[in-house]
Amino acid sequence: MSHNIPQTSLGKFAREYLEYLEIERGRSIKTIENYEHYITRFLVATGAKEPKDIDDELMRTFRLWLNRQKAGVRDGRQETLKKKTQNYYLIAIRSFLKYLRKRGVESYAPERIELAKVAERTIDLLTPQDLRRLLDAPSGDGVKELRDKAILELFFSTGLRLSELCALSRDIDITRDEISVRGKGEKVRVVFISDDAKKAITAYLKKRTDMDDALFVSEGKKARVDGSFRLSPRSIERMVKFYAVKAGIMDKVTPHILRHSFATDLLYNGADIRSVQMMLGHSNISTTQIYTHITDSELRNVHKKFHNR
């Protein structure tokens, strides 16, 4: 990593910052790679070599450059970077500047960088009927069908991220109602398994004949480079899509949409936002609060239905 960062004074600080994120802050390799990409493009695009080179004019020029970057063609039109993507760059730069301040290095004030206004985030959800059809879509007692049933039930039961589910090992104690998972930032949290999920996992593991340590493995394929048959995130995404089509669901369905369904199901049934935050593994409650917009909308529908004079 960090081999593309310019060999300048500012570049040296950037490399030290990335090492700080990895060692002292415990950020994931993926997060560090993303921050390296954003900061490198900033340094290359602006030509800034010293911390003092960063000023209002340089930031204004960079934001104009960022706003004009091409991001592919859609419906015959050339699109530029979305405001949300531009904000990823700005957040990384702001964090880097805070690191410089912590080191006592004089540079641009991070609080002067304001994020671009973005449209309110929307969340795709499955209707209860579609969700039921999806969970019931894997039929049969073959090891593949039992595996896929267990994966879908576990997604909805726990709200796990795709990467978290892929990383599970078969030595989990499914006789209990809970398991510990390691999420973003290496943070460990407890998630809870429904009776349906426990039943599905038990049936799948009884059918397995291999000795692989992974909880979910591919069937009839060669082992990966590391010798494991562990299912990849892409394989699970394709599996979820396959059963969505089989269930006759027209809308796009992904593992993350199942995570959304898990969260909104809790809120609909009276769970408080703090508890949902803990179960999803969100470090900031503002990330969880997006779901309250959905439940607020549902409450409006209930009000109209039962309070109509």
Stated length of the chain: 309
Q: Provide the pLDDT confidence category of residue 123 given band limits of 50, 70 and 90.
A: low
- Measured between alpha carbons, how far is 208 from 142 in angstroms, rounded to an integer? 10
Mean pLDDT across 74-81: 76
- Measured between alpha carbons, how far is 7 from 18 in angstroms, rounded to an integer? 15
The full DSSP string for 93-143 is: HHHHHHHHHHTT-----GGG-PPPP-PPP------HHHHHHHHH---SSSH
Q: What are the structural domain ranges in the chain?
A: 9-112, 128-306
- Measured between alpha carbons, how far is 43 from 65 in angstroms, rounded to an integer? 12
Q: Provide the pLDDT confidence category of residue 306 given band limits of 50, 70 and 90.
A: low
Q: Provide the pLDDT confidence category of residue 28 given band limits of 50, 70 and 90.
A: confident
CB 194, CB 176: distance < 8 Å: no
In the chain, the amino acid numbered 45 is A
Using a CB cutoff of 8 Å and minimum separation of 24, what contacts does 75-78 make?
A: none
- Measured between alpha carbons, how far is 262 from 81 in angstroms, rounded to an integer? 31
Task: Report CA 89 to chain centroid distance, whole Å.
Answer: 17
- Measured between alpha carbons, how far is 87 from 30 in angstroms, rounded to an integer? 18
pLDDT tens-digit map of 229-277? 899 999 999 999 999 999 999 888 999 999 988 988 888 888 888 888 8
9-112: CATH class: mainly alpha
- Measured between alpha carbons, how far is 62 from 90 in angstroms, rounded to an integer? 10
CATH topology of domain 128-306: hpI Integrase; Chain A (1.10.443)
The chain-wide mean pLDDT, for the chain, equals 87
Helices (H), the chain: 9-23, 29-46, 56-67, 83-102, 128-136, 143-158, 162-166, 195-207, 233-246, 255-268, 273-280, 285-288, 290-306
Task: Report CA 159 to chain centroid distance, whole Å.
Answer: 11
Q: State the chain's maximal CA–CA distance in angstroms.
A: 72
**pLDDT at position 309:** 46
- Measured between alpha carbons, how far is 46 from 67 in angstroms, rounded to an integer? 14
pTM across the whole model: 0.65
Between the alpha carbon of residue 135 and those of residues 17, 151, 162, 235, 252, the distances in Å are: 45, 9, 17, 17, 15
**Residues recognised as catalytic:** 161, 184, 256, 259, 282, 291
- Write down the residue that tokens 């039930």 correspond to: 153
CB 196, CB 38: distance < 8 Å: no
Over its C-alpha atoms, the chain yields an Rg (Å, rounded) of 23
pLDDT tens-digit map of 131-140? 999 999 999 8
% pLDDT > 90, the chain: 55
- Measured between alpha carbons, how far is 241 from 42 in angstroms, rounded to an integer? 37
- Quick one: DSSP state of residue 192? E
